[in-house]
Structure 1
């Protein structure tokens, strides 16, 4: 089946459907190299839904080397809670050493987070997704109205597809709100990152994440020194551009 016709078929199967239905479709259509990305934040909802459908779900997380200690502890808690084979992706040591030797540990406060994220997050993710046929993310429309407002339930991944292979990306939580997510977490008494109880709504690397104030949008705690339209690490940047 050609890539574009397959996408049409997937969209028809997933559009305006429940997260669980979208996950079932993903598992059925990509039984082998399908991976779920877990950040160690409120996408625990995605892990729980997927695990209940397929306990053998393949899950990875990216260890940038700059996460909060609470996030590392939470990742281990989730691994044990679901008996997951959680694969941890790490940046290339030599590339990271060159970068920090030249620019230090906090250059992103002056020249933006793009280069640091590229080394610590994008490069290891690209290497991992080169082996995948499709992946599942916890993106939601309400996380960043300026960049994710038109987030589809399934799409071709324009960031990580290659000429040789089309990579598909599922966003089962696209139409869930933060309130929906937390109602799910509380109703099922899921484990969650303790930083959420300290005002952290969107959790990333420790130097780039801070608690938000009342009435602030959740993404305002990420890369707070940059403009709203820049508050993406690059994992989904090409797809955002393609939707505009």
Structure 2
């Protein structure tokens, strides 16, 4: 089967719902598809949608070695609720050892280059292994989360990861819609969300946001907003 291109991706109608996006994305992928979960509220909503629709989508997660305990608790709650297996991917041991030996435990705060190096080791390389052999992957990203995601299509071709289909079923959802769904379904929610953390990553790189700040203002808060991505969602 030929790989999809931007020209032959399904043309979804305006206002297409998450269910329609998921089904169209799986059809376009034409092969194995997995959800990348960090166990934030958006990802749990997508997991619930996938299970409710009985879609053939597996789940994987990246254990960077620096995740908050609450994230592990949420992952266990999700696994138990849905009876699903979560495939965990870890960074290469030798790369982490060399980084910490040469630059210390907090080199990511020294410069943007050093932070990108840490993310490349702990996130980007494991993601490449997780996506190997897949025809598509699902995310919980939303367009309103940050300036780096303001132009987010429901379906994309992920060229940096071999041209597979990237499926963003919540692209047009608001934060209020996400929370309304989670509360209606009584989904497992990362406890940090209710402590002021709308976006949760590695513990040293995540803080609670202040009133009026954007959703991702607590991620790498010492950097300019346009830099606050880890490299998982390269264009």
User: Which TM-score band applies after superposition, normalised by the shorter structure?
Assistant: over 0.9
Deviation at 1:40, TM superposition (A): 1.1
Corresponding residue to 2:202 among 200, 205, 223: 205
Which residue matches 1:147?
A: 148
> Are the aligned partners of 1:14 and 1:25 in contact in 2 as well (CA < 8 Å)?
no
Give 2:184's aligned residue.
187
Query: Would the aligned equivalents of 1:11 and 1:153 in 2 still touch at CA under 8 Å?
Result: no
Please list, as runs of the form range in 1=range in 2, the aligned pairs for 1:54-203 lying within 5 A after superposition: 54=54, 56-112=56-112, 113-144=115-146, 146-161=147-162, 166-203=163-200
Indicate the SS of the match to 2:199.
coil
**1:56–1:156: structure 2 CA closer, same or farther, 3 Å change rule?**
closer
| TM-score of the two chains, using structure 1 as the length reference | 0.90
Residue in structure 2 matched with residue 222 of structure 1 by the alignment? 219
Greater shift in the superposed pair: 29-38 or 98-107:
29-38
Cα-Cα RMSD: 1.6
Q: Distance in 1 between matches of 2:64 and 2:90?
A: 6
Does the CA-based 8 Å contact 1:14-1:154 persist in structure 2? no
- Pair 1:50–1:185, CA change in 2 (3 A): same
2:24 is matched with which residue?
A: 25
Q: Is the 1:201–1:218 contact (alpha carbons within 8 Å) kept by the matching residues of 2?
A: yes
- 1:198-217 Cα deviation digits (max 9, x unpaired): 11110000000000111111
1:37–1:60 CA contact under 8 A, matched in 2: yes
Bigger CA drift: 224-233 or 30-39? Answer: 30-39
Q: Structure 1 CA distance, aligned partners of 2:28 and 2:10?
A: 12
Deviations 1:218-243 (A, max 9, x none): 11110000000100001112x2xxxx
1:150-188, Cα deviation, whole Å (9 max, x unpaired): 101111102211xxxx31111111000111101111111
Give the secondary-structure state (helix, strand or coil) at the position aligned to 2:166. Answer: strand
Aligned-partner Cα distance in 1 for 2:13–2:232: 22
- Structure 1 residues 156, 29: CA separation in 2 closer, same or farther (over 3 Å shift)? closer
SS of equivalent to 1:207: helix
SS in 1 for 2:223: coil
Structure 2, gaps ≥5 residues long: none
Distance change in 2, residues 1:180/1:168 (3 Å): same
